[in-house]
Amino acid sequence: MTIDKGQKTSMPYKLLFVCLGNICRSPSAENIMNHLIEQAGLSDAIICDSAGTSSYHVGSPPDRRMSAAAATKLGIKLRGQARQFQKSDFQDFDLILAMDQENYENILTLDRTEQYQHKVRLMCEFCSRHTLKEVPDPYYGGQDGFNQVIDLLIDACEGLLTKVKSEEF
């Protein structure tokens, strides 16, 4: 974050990725973004987390099919444990990225005062190569759906990193 006279604060910029169950899309986005942040040498400047709007999978690791797609496409291991989105996340994070319109609306429903709406965005807003407006939920589909989600999230995360770097660093 920029402060007076162009000096930088030591506070990291915090991103939260949110989907329904926090076992497929949002942990993939979190891990892909962490991979890109590490490659850019910005691990101290940007911190990522993920959450789900539901409590279906709290405590579970990322879905094994999603993990397989991430390993195949990017060579990364998905880490994390599912948790549910909390109202305190509005204060704790600088930007909250919803995977689809339903997630977006569910997040905003928790912001009764509407003071944090400016922090909530759709993940696909940051895509430059894909035209989808939402990250589809691959949970009930085949492996192609998981691969598509990884491709889409790589595009969105690259665009997001460019945007965060241009505004914050």
Backbone phi, psi, residue 95, to 5°:
-145, 130
pTM of the predicted model, to two decimals?
0.93
Residue-wise pLDDT tens digits, 130-166: 999 999 999 999 999 999 999 999 999 999 999 999 9
| Strand 13-19 to 46-52 pairing | parallel
Answer whether residue 169 shows pLDDT above 80: no
Which pair of structure tokens corresponds to residue 140?
């009930």
Query: How high is the pLDDT of residue 55?
Result: 96
- Contact status, residue 38 vs residue 48, Cβ threshold 8 Å: no
Answer whether residue 85 shows pLDDT above 90: yes
Query: How high is the pLDDT of residue 17?
Result: 98
| Mean pLDDT calculated for residue range 87-105 | 98
Which pair of structure tokens corresponds to residue 1?
């974050």
Q: How many CA atoms lie within 13 A of 102 on its CB side?
A: 9
| Strand 95-98 to 120-122 pairing | parallel
Question: What is the identity of the amino acid at 37?
Answer: I
Note the helical H segments in the chain.
25-39, 64-74, 89-92, 101-109, 143-168
Residues labelled catalytic: 19, 25, 137
Looking at per-residue pLDDT, the higher value among 10 and 142 belongs to 142
Alpha-carbon span 63 to 140, nearest angstrom: 12
Alpha-carbon span 25 to 69, nearest angstrom: 11
> Pick from 132, 108, 139: which is nearest to 121 by CA?
108
pLDDT bracket for residue 35 (50, 70, 90): very high
Query: How high is the pLDDT of residue 10?
Result: 67
| Segments making up each domain of the chain, as ranges | 13-166
Answer whether residue 97 shows pLDDT above 60: yes
Domain 13-166 has CATH 3.30.70.2860: no
